[in-house]
Structure formats: structure tokens, C-alpha cells
Amino acid sequence: MTHDTESACKACTESNPVQEQTASNGTNKCKKGKRQPKKKGWYDYLWIWPIVFFTLGFFNIMFAWLGMIDFLVPLGFAIFAGNKRFCNRYCGRSRLFDLLGSKLKLSRKKPHPKWMSSSPFRYGFLVFFLTMFGMMIYQTYLVAAGAQSLTEAITLLWAFNVPWEWAYTAGALPEFTAQFAFGFYSLMLSSTILGLIAMAAFRPRSWCAFCPMGTMTQGICKLKKKN
């Protein structure tokens, strides 16, 4: 298939995150061998979003609720549109990893191990991720029911509790909403740390190979195509 226009070149990179990563040097290369400048869209600046999110959550944990955007929007694309456009174009974290790894050269840019993108590992990590999410919801329920007091801490990598009490003002909102915020901020921060480790050790967007949201939305897209 030969691409004759710049719009066709752009369509290639939008449909495949791997191709998009190879075009991160600011140019698109068609099969004809001509390099054409890649026009930047507003979504190219979405790497700012995770920085804003974590900064706001550092000072006020209730801003962690904004992270639900990164959960609900990709699911919406998959369920209603049957595609992974959020992952391929609008994911702020993947764009941040690409910026740090490709532009700032903080990545070794080595291929990730095959097991990292294998189905057993991807679905196993998805199950683990959903289990941790379920435990977070359960703790929120316990606080709402008065069976457990609010834990003003975040949990890094699902193992290390870090005090975070300055980020919540008691009485401002129901405690169960704060418990959810602490848990969700922990989940987002832990997964971002894993993504940064994968970025530094392998290619910039190696996190995308086993991202639980990517695995989930891919599964939904496959089910929709069968139906």
C-alpha cells in the first residue's frame, strides 16, 4: 500500500502506537522515502496531564478523583467506538514516557523481553491490578460504613505505606471519598513508577505492552468485532 498524501502518512501512525513511537523524532516517513514534518495536534501536549495530576494530588488528595478520566475514557472508546484511540493518541502517560525516553534520551531503547507482552503476563497483571483496585474499593466501603478509620497515606508499589496527611483537610468532604482518593492516587503513582522503570530499561513506551487498561480495552474491542 502506497501513501500519497501527508494525511495518509499521519493515519499510519495514529492507528498503531508502535509506529507512532518510531515517528516521535518529529517526522513521518512514507514508503516513498520522503520525510515530511509531523504536524503537532493538541493531544501531543497531553504529557502535561500526568504531571498536573500528581502535582495537584500532592497538595490536595481529592484531586486524585480526576484520575478516573484515565479509566473511564479509554473504556468509553472501546465500548462505544470499538477502538483503542485513547491508548494510541490521548494517553498522557504514554506521551510522557515518550518525551522522557525519546526526546530527553532517558531510555535505553532496547526491545522489551517477549514475556512482557505475552498473554499470560498481560492478563495476569490485569488480574492483579483489578484485585488491588477491588481491595481499594473495599477499604473505601469500610470507611463509609464506619468499620475502619481513614488512612491518610499512599501505598507505593502496593507494598510501602507513605504518610500523606498534609494533603487532606478533615471535615471538608466525607472521609470515604478521601479514602478512595488516597487509594486511587496510590494506584496511579505505583503504575507510573512501573512505567518509568520499563521506559528506562527498555523502549520509552514499554509500559504499553502490559498496561492493564490497554489489555482490558483490547479485549473489549476483540469482543465487539466478534459480535
Q: Which residues pair with 153 in a beta bridge?
A: 163
Which cell goes with 200?
528506562
Residue that is written with C-alpha cell 494525511 in the block: 7
Beta-bridged to residue 28, according to DSSP, are: 36
Identify whether the C-beta of residue 128 lies closer than 8 Å to the C-beta of residue 157: no
Residue-level pLDDT at 171: 87
Q: For residue range 116-171, what is the model confidence (pLDDT) as tens digits?
A: 999 999 999 999 999 999 999 999 999 999 999 999 999 999 999 999 999 999 88
C-alpha to C-alpha distance for 202 and 176, rounded to whole angstroms: 39
pLDDT tens track for 16-60:
444 444 344 444 555 555 666 678 899 999 999 999 999 999 999
Q: How does pLDDT run across 168-179, given as a tens digit for each residue?
A: 998 889 999 999
Say what angle helices 175-201 and 119-144 make with each other, to 10 degrees: 160
Q: Is the pLDDT of residue 109 over 90?
A: yes
Element (H, E) at 141: helix 119-144
Q: What is the pLDDT of residues 210-227, one digit of tens each?
A: 999 999 999 999 998 887
pTM attached to this predicted model: 0.82
